Amino acid sequence: MKLQKFLQSKGYSRRMADKLVFNGEVSVNEKQVFEPWYEVNFGDKVQVENKNYTFDDRNQDYSYYVLHKPKGYSTTLSDPKQKHTVATLLQEKNLQHLNHLKPVGRLDKDVEGVVILTDDGDLINILTSARYGVEKVYVAKVRGKVKKEDLEKLRNGIEDNGDFLKCENAVVIEMHKDYSIVKVTMIKGRKHEVKRLFSSIGNPVVNLIRISHGPVDITLVPNPGDIVEIRANVLDKLLEIKKKNQNKVRS
């Protein structure tokens, strides 16, 4: 793979990749390289802007990152009506070269947690469509004590304003006098679905965190605002989901 293409797979625009190489700011295996067309081979170590990458041949045509979206930020890249967006967060962290990546699905502005960022269109379709059964897991703090029979209602599904809403699973992990902590597994992603489900049983959501999306979980980005590249075993699992379902996407 050409060095320019490799840098693009890491989120740099073509123009920025060329500029960094021509300026001598890129090294391969600790040797400065000045040609964007330089061939990068399996196992080569690339250094750029104090970041270290290894060409591991998994899927270098696309970039895969995970963000712990903080509360108060909109899951969008461009919205003049929103002061705080994923794009502005990337800018705050001097990661604006990742602005070409798209958030996979959405989280409400007042919800924090795992958001995958990628330019892999097939994977985005697979992770966001209920057709492929990829799970999203949330931890919800809700008012009051949640009854077992009410959790069963959520698993079986409810009607709300003409929409059929349901969760795949819901388990109480903490019960207190005034509130409960519930772990909720979802596949569909209707607007405000988790909040609407709990409101329907009289336990409105006070706080909501998405702790995983498929194999990508919050342990990779434990603090709000954290962002890391998805690599190694987690990336392998993501790409396996893509490989398994890719023919369905294109059929």
The helix (run of H) or strand (run of E) holding residue 200 is: helix 193-200
Please tell me whether residue 124 adopts helix, strand or coil conformation: helix
64: nearest Cα among 232, 236, 231: 231
Contact 196, 117 (CB under 8 A): no
Say which of 18, 79, 108, 217 is annotated catalytic: 108
Give the residue carrying structure tokens 């329907």: 200
Contact 127, 247 (CB under 8 A): no
Q: Is the alpha carbon torsion for 98, 104, 108, 111 positive or negative?
A: negative
Contact 86, 43 (CB under 8 A): no
Give the residue carrying structure tokens 């931890």: 139
Please tell me whether residue 48 adopts helix, strand or coil conformation: strand
CA distance linking residue 212 with residue 220, whole number of Å = 10
Cα atoms in the 13 Å half-sphere on the side-chain side of 22: 6
- The verdict on whether 236 is a catalytic residue reads no
Please tell me whether residue 74 adopts helix, strand or coil conformation: strand
Q: Which residues are catalytic?
A: 108
